[in-house]
Chains A and B, each alone.
Chain A
Amino acid sequence: MATGSVWEINGVSIPCPSEYAWQVRRPLDVQGDNRPIYPGIRAMELRYELMSYEDWEVLQVLYAAIQYTGTATVRIPGFPTATGTPFAFHEYSGVTLAEPAISTIFNQQYPTRAVLLIANIVTD
């Protein structure tokens, strides 16, 4: 695994996304004392406005490898914790990937508005 601000999935570098976001967790229910119950996992969405076909291929292959079984280890910016460093990259294991989604292909070779969802991220 690389160090520093390098985006990786299973040791394979992936392009730095145009933007990324920790997904808002949907409350599963509300406790009797009126506290929302959240799932124990988080998800991060990586968005790419424009990427090369080769980069998309990397994402697709990474997804295909763990499509049905297995999990991945990703290196992404860490979720903030009380002791963490802002924007420091962090390794999360046991995550799963949703199939990369793309929109139109620009100029017959550049996928646009690609989205990769990394799920099952345990941050607690």
Chain B
Amino acid sequence: MTTPTAAQLSRLRTRPHRTKAYLSIFKPRVVLSAQLNMPTVAKGDRALTVTAISGTMADVRPGMTVYLGTTAGGRQKGRLRVKNGAGAVLTVAENSVAWVNGWYLTVVEFFEPWAVFPRIVVQNKTPVFYKDYDLTYTSEGRYMKPVVHMGPHYATFLDPITQAAQVWFTSTGSFDPTDGLAPTGTLWDFGEGAITPTGSANPYPGYVTFSGAGHYTVFLEEWTSYGVTGSGYRHISIYDRPENGPNRPIVEWGFEGLRGSRDDGGYEVDIWLREQAFFPDVVEGALVIIFTESWEGGVSGKVGGNAENRGEILFTGYIEDGTVGLDPVSNRLEFTAKSVTGIMERLAAFSDSYQSRNTANKWYKIYNMTVDKAIIQTLHWQSTILSICDFFPTNDTKGVEYIDFERTDLFSAAQGILESTLGARMVADRQGSIYCEVEANLVPTGSSRDFPVALDITRQDWAGKVDIDFRMREDVSYIEMGGIAYTGPQTGTNSAFLSGAPGTAPHYAGTTETISGLVVLSQDQLNELSGNGLARANAEFPNVDLDMAGDYRLLDIAPIERVTMDLAPRENFRGFEWVDKPFFVKEISYDYEAESQWLRNSVTLEEETSGPPGETITIPAEAPYQDWKLPSWDIEFPPLIPLPGLLPEVVPPTGIGDYVYGLFNGIYVKTSNFWSHTGSGPTWEIVNVPSSVTGTASVQNLMFWLSPTDPANQVYIGNTDGGVNFIGRVITAFDSPTPGAQEWWSLADCATHLGVSTQRRLGTVRHMPALGGYMIGIGGQALAGQPPKWVEGATAGAWSSYSMNGGGYPQCGNPRDYWHYCGGTTIVAATDGEFRRSTNLGRNWTALYAAQPGNDVYYCETATPYTYLQSNPGGGMRMYFHPNAMIGVTSANDPDLLYISPEISDSYYIGYVATNVGNGTIGKGITILPDYSIFGLFARQNGTQAVNIEAFRPGPYDDWQIIRTNPFVYYALDYYKPDPNKMLCFRTTALAQGVYGSADRGNTWVNKTGNLVALVGALGSTSCRGLKYVWTR
């Protein structure tokens, strides 16, 4: 805004005011004239092969306008936005044009407001998001494009003596929405022609000299500290004075009703012209500038314009589509021009949704989102607005978790968000710069409401009478406001607040208003907002209309301008006496009498108000009514992404009761009150000791698996002994101090029967009635080139083995013992960097996908529960979905697969966690719950410090949400099938070692060690080799 100095104010009040107005319509340079040369061109084609007639494809820049015509230079078939040009192919924006070969395409150096469409396609049942048809996401929600400021468009005269015009340029105000800082790099290109300088790397180049009449386009590229670039364009028209040369502006013209209001978001004006020579320049969408020469008491120049060197620009806008018409009586060509915000009202906007995320890895996610960021992101990627005008955000820093833009026009979509979340408005000033501001009367009073006074209006400043709209009684008796305070994705806390004003008792006149969905900071802030909102709604003087006594263009509808006013009792009917009474400018209109060179504006002012804070309304924990009915809805819901079929019912084994089994320090223990204990913890009891199982005390049991159907008797065991008892099972009476029959394979047996010759681990065991026995996966510290083996059969002697077909996977350097039986004859397994599937019980295997998505697997998520270094978010994980509904997590950096989630009955679901060696991540456990939510325990290693993360995904399509980070390391995560809210794990970190259980899906963990140490000895980091449970119906 403009605050005049004392000298400027004195000059403003000097009469007469004299103004000569001129009309400029930007006439862009043709950079390429071409003819469509595609015999097979089809409706909606974007890549158009053309034959150049004049110009060169090399001059074509993204964002330019291309006219479509049936004659050279014609525009009969409309216009589109250029995406790019290369060789003989001109690529245009997504369209539904029914192309005809031979059409003429004229690309001009003009950058106008365009909507840019997103595109969402479903690939293998997963939605894939693009912007501008084919732009895939990289990190745009994390590191946003800078908002480029260049100053407004401009039109002026050549100086008759120097034959040059000076135009001021500065990038002051440019900022990086990511952190609010100024861009770190700048490169100006001032256009083609006699321009000094031709370019600059100075963010504030100041005056640039254009020597010669013409239409120029200035280009600015800026980049942020994160290496993200943004660009902007401004159009400059330089004219000969009408008496000095042929390149003059339009002089036989006039305008009516140049008017702007904050409610409308900008200005519009009806213009006519009568010079037929200029009729071809009147093109829908063309840039229109009304510029002036002005004098105040004989001194030339005007104060105002919100930008350096732009005081003589009265209006900047664009010709509205469909308003151009020729009046046959007056032979005048007439059209309507609107501010950029008015043009935005005609641009289609797709709905746009954003989530605030720590890890912004999708188009619909924004790092630490604020309302400003969401607005900017939408305008950046779903329009060209931010490249053609200066944009000023609200600078509100409150966090917001979700924002959904309506499927409406671009202006309404953005304005709707601003108004519903912050009580803010998007308004263009006369120059076409866009200001987003919280309505002044909603801003807290005190230092926050620090709008400077643009003008102290006294009686010499207005003409005629002052129209005062006086509100005798309140229009609003009660206002209720609701809002949510969001602490940001790091902590993820939402707090809902309600407030009512004036208080328990409403005013005795007026209606009630309810406003919800506000983005607030606290209850106190909402109370202040509701109080101010009520005061604003009941302002005593909502409208004060003044005809100014001259050209007071220093007043504008944006940015918000405060004026004060003096009024004597004798100057109004009601006898009000105002001394420096504050108002805000609400509307402005201009009248022009060319014959008198008389331009003057009329303003509508809104009283500045504030009210006492509203009162807190306590939100009840539950709905205060017993029986509520929803109204009938007629809403078409978007199609839901189908989830795989319901998980089968969990069928527990019968017989032995509810137990949690554990293997600690080689000793098998169990407890029957893991969940129901009182006091210091569960009561553990020894099941048996290693020697009783293996026959030798030297054996170190590493893993055990209870038979799913006979857990009290049959248990499969693997150990580290590579000798006589490498892998085996207890066949009877496992849950006994003296277990019954056992059978074991030595490493030599494995070599004989399975072809393995090195240490192996026991993998998943699965009872497979169809085979008359069990299938066991074994893996372990495999050497490269040694594929996993599978055994089946009821007894060791009858076991047979199968290799993954082909073998020879040189990257198989990690266990492949994680597999899952899917029912029938299908098995899926994790190998080194791959998921594999066998449909014949392990005889043959097919790679489902490798580290990167394959043809039959589609990429679904980039799920990074954290980043181990802020500067390197690449250490995250990726989530894939397989058509058979497999779920997996793998690392972008290291595809080793370390873990498969516990099976969920006979479902197809598999989860696994990858590892990154060094500064990476190690998955310590992941489990998929029956409702498809996923719980994961991860360890982050960054060299010297280990940080552990518990994370949760509400569903397979959702993000990871970090529950907490802590110094504990977990293993052996599992959930308790009878109640998926219950989880159990072993914590290895010193000072907190032991068994832990959670009854609330990992939100809180309780030490379940109980008497365990007394039974098995001290618990070290490798003490726990398994936690299993059984339960009865």
Residues on A facing B (Cβ under 8 Å): 26, 28-33, 35, 37-41, 66, 68-71, 119-120, 122, 124
In the A-B complex, the 8 residue pairs with the smallest Cβ-Cβ separation, listed nearest first, are A40-B18, A32-B459, A40-B16, A39-B596, A29-B463, A70-B243, A33-B459, A32-B462
Docked complex: B7-47 residues within 8 A CB-CB of A: 15-18
Q: Decide if B597 touches A31 in the complex (CB within 8 Å).
A: no
Q: Is B458 part of the binding interface, using a Cβ–Cβ cutoff of 8 Å?
A: yes
CB nearest neighbor in A for B459: A32
Q: How far, in Å, is B589 (CB) from chain A's closest CB?
A: 15
Contact of A41 among B297, B550, B597, B600 (CB under 8 A): B597
The answer to whether B549 and A39 touch across the interface, beta carbons within 8 angstroms, is no
Across the interface, which residues of A come within 8 angstroms of B600, CB to CB? 28-29
- Check A32/B460 contact, CB under 8 A, given A40-B16, A40-B597: yes
B466 and A32 contact, CB distance less than 8 A: yes
B597/A30 in contact, CB under 8 A: no
Across the interface, do B15 and A122 meet the contact criterion of CB distance under 8 Å? no
Which residue on B lies nearest to A43, using beta carbons?
A: B595
CB distance from A93 to the nearest CB of B (A): 9
Q: How far is the CB of B432 from chain A (nearest CB, A)?
A: 27
Contacts A28-B596, A69-B243, A70-B242 given; does A122 touch B549 at CB 8 Å: no
The answer to the question of B820 belonging to the interface, with a C-beta cut-off of 8 Å to chain A, is: no
Within 8 A of A (CB), among B190-243: 242-243
- B242–A37 touching, CB < 8 Å: no
Given known pairs A39-B597, A41-B597, A71-B242, the reply for A124 and B460 (CB within 8 Å) is no
A29 & B464 in contact (Cβ 8 Å cutoff): yes
Chain A residues in 8 Å Cβ range of B550: 37
Are B275 and A68 neighbours in the complex by a CB distance under 8 Å? yes
12 contacts between A and B (CB under 8 A): A29-B549, A32-B458, A32-B462, A35-B460, A38-B16, A39-B18, A68-B251, A68-B252, A70-B243, A119-B595, A122-B295, A124-B297
Query: Which residue from chain A places its CB closest to the CB of B14 in the assembled complex?
Result: A124
Interface residues of B in 230-275 (CB under 8 A from A): 242-243, 248, 251-252, 275
Verify B547–A29 contact, CB threshold 8 A.
Answer: yes
Q: Which residues of A contact B463 (CB under 8 A)?
A: 28-32, 37
Complexed CA–CA distance, A71 and B248 (Å): 13
- Is there an interface contact between B15 and A32, defined as CB atoms closer than 8 Å? no
Task: Using A41-B596, A69-B248, A71-B242 as known contacts, list a sample of 18 further A-B pairs with CB atoms less than 8 Å apart, ordered by residue number in A.
Answer: A28-B463, A28-B593, A29-B549, A30-B464, A32-B458, A32-B464, A37-B16, A37-B549, A39-B18, A39-B597, A40-B16, A40-B18, A40-B295, A41-B18, A41-B597, A68-B252, A69-B251, A70-B242
B461 touches which one: A28, A32, A68 (CB < 8 A)?
A32
B242 CB to closest chain A CB (Å) equals 5
**Which among A37, A38, A68, A122 has the highest number of chain B CB atoms within 10 Å?**
A37
* Contact across chains for A120 and B549 when beta carbons are under 8 A apart: no
Closest residue on chain A to residue B596 by CB atoms: A39
Residues of A within 8 A of B547 (CB): 29
Query: B517 contacts the other chain (Cβ, under 8 Å)?
Result: no
A124 to B18, CA, bound (A): 11
Q: Mark B448-468, 1 if CB is under 8 A from A, else 0.
A: 000000000011111110100
Cβ contacts under 8 Å, A32 to chain B: 458-464, 466, 549, 571
Which residues of B sit under 8 angstroms from A120, Cβ to Cβ?
Answer: 597
Closest to A69 in B: B242
Chain A: which residue is nearest B571 at the CB level? A32
Question: Contact at B462–A71, with CB atoms within 8 Å?
Answer: no
Q: With the chains together, A41 CA to B18 CA distance in Å?
A: 8
> Which residues of chain A are near B252, meaning CB under 8 Å?
68-69
Q: Given known contacts A37-B15, A41-B596, A124-B297, is B243 in contact with A31 (CB within 8 Å)?
A: no
Are A31 and B18 within 8 A (Cβ)? no
Cα A26 to Cα B977 with chains together (Å): 94
CA distance A33 to B459 in the complex (A): 5
Residues of the B chain whose Cβ atoms lie less than 8 Å from the Cβ of A35: 460
Report whether B242 and A31 are in contact in the complex, using a CB–CB cutoff of 8 Å. Answer: no
- CB within 8 Å of A: which of B594-631? 595-598, 600
- What chain A residues lie within 8 Å of B464 (beta carbons)? 29-30, 32
Give A43 to B567 CA distance when docked, in angstroms: 36
Establish whether residues A31 and B549, one from each chain, have CB atoms under 8 Å apart when the complex forms.
yes
Q: In the complex, which residues of chain B have a beta carbon less than 8 angstroms from the beta carbon of A40?
A: 15-18, 295, 298, 596-598
0/1 string, B542-576, CB within 8 A of A gives 1: 00000101100000000000000000000100000
Alpha-carbon distance A122/B297, docked complex (angstroms): 11
In whole angstroms, how far apart are the Cα atoms of A119 and B243 in the complex? 16
Residue ID in chain A nearest B463 by CB atoms: A29
- Contact call A33/B243, Cβ cutoff below 8 A: no
Are A71 and B243 touching (Cβ within 8 A)?
A: yes
Nearest-neighbor residue (CB-CB) of A39 within chain B: B596
Nearest CB of A to B478, in Å: 39
- Most interface-central of A32, A41, A71 (chain B CB within 10 A): A32
B599 to chain A, nearest CB (A): 10
Nearest A residue (CB) for B595: A119
Asked, given contacts A69-B243, A71-B243, whether A39 binds B598 with beta carbons under 8 Å apart, the answer is yes
A98: shortest Cβ distance to chain B, in Å?
Answer: 10
Please give the distance in Å from B1025's CB to the nearest CB on chain A. Answer: 92
What's the Cα separation between A31 and B251 when bound, in Å?
A: 30
CB-defined contacts of A26 to chain B, threshold 8 Å: 596
Docked complex Cα distance between A28 and B549 (Å) = 9
State how many angstroms separate the Cβ of A28 from the closest Cβ of chain B.
6
CB distance from A82 to the nearest CB of B (A): 13
A25 to chain B: closest CB distance in Å? 9
Contacts of A71 in B (CB 8 A): 242-243
Contacts of A29 in B (CB 8 A): 463-464, 547, 549, 600
Measured CB to CB, the closest approach of chain B to A121, in angstroms, equals 11
| CB closest chain-B residue, reference A68 | B252
A83 CB to closest chain B CB, in angstroms? 14
Residues on B with beta carbons closer than 8 Å to the beta carbon of A37: 15-16, 463, 549-550
Whether A33 and B598, one on each chain, are in contact in the complex, defined by CB atoms closer than 8 angstroms, is no
- Provide the residues of chain B in CB contact with A66, threshold 8 Å: 243
In the assembled complex, how far is the CB of residue A78 from the closest CB belonging to chain B, in whole angstroms? 15
Query: How far in angstroms is the closest Cβ of chain B from A92?
Result: 13
* Cα–Cα distance between A120 and B593 once the two chains are bound (Å): 12
Least CB distance from B624 to A in Å reads 57
Whether B460 and A33, one on each chain, are in contact in the complex, defined by CB atoms closer than 8 angstroms, is yes
Measured between beta carbons, the chain A residues less than 8 angstroms from B597 are: 39-41, 120
Which residue in chain B gives the minimum CB-CB distance to A120?
B597
In angstroms, how far is the closest chain A Cβ from the Cβ of B590? Answer: 14
CB-nearest residue of chain A relative to B549?
A: A31
In whole angstroms, what is the CA distance A39 to B297 when docked? 11
Report the separation of the CA atoms of residues A40 and B550 in the bound assembly, to the nearest whole angstrom.
Answer: 11
**Nearest CB on B from A80, distance (A):** 16
* Complex CA distance for A41 and B464, rounded to whole angstroms: 21
In the complex, what residues of B have CB within 8 A of residue A41's CB? 18, 596-597
**Known interface pairs A37-B549, A37-B550, A68-B252; A31-B598 also in contact (CB < 8 Å):** no
Could you tell me if A31 and B596 are in contact, using CB atoms closer than 8 angstroms? no
Chain A residues near B17: list those with CB within 8 A: 40
Query: Contacts A32-B458, A32-B463, A35-B460 known; A122 to B243 CB distance under 8 Å?
Result: no
List A contacts of B458 (CB < 8 A): 32-33
Q: What distance in Å separates the Cβ of A105 from its nearest Cβ neighbour in chain B?
A: 29
How far, in whole Å, are A28 and B591 apart by their CA atoms in the complex? 12
**CB-defined contacts of B248 to chain A, threshold 8 Å:** 69
Chain B residue contacts of A28, Cβ below 8 A:
463, 593, 596, 598, 600
Nearest chain A CB to B275's CB is how many angstroms away?
7
Residues of chain B within 8 A (CB-CB) of A69 are 242-243, 248, 251-252
Q: Which residues of B contact A119 (CB under 8 A)?
A: 595
Q: How far, in angstroms, from A32 to B13 measured CA to CA in the complex? A: 12
Beta-carbon nearest neighbor of A38 in chain B: B16
Q: How near does chain A come to B159, taking the closest CB pair, in angstroms? A: 16
CB pair B466 A124 closer than 8 Å: no
Give Cα A79–Cα B598 distance, bound, in whole angstroms. 20
Quote the shortest CB–CB distance from A50 to chain B (angstroms). 29
Give CA–CA (A41, B298) in the complex, Å: 10
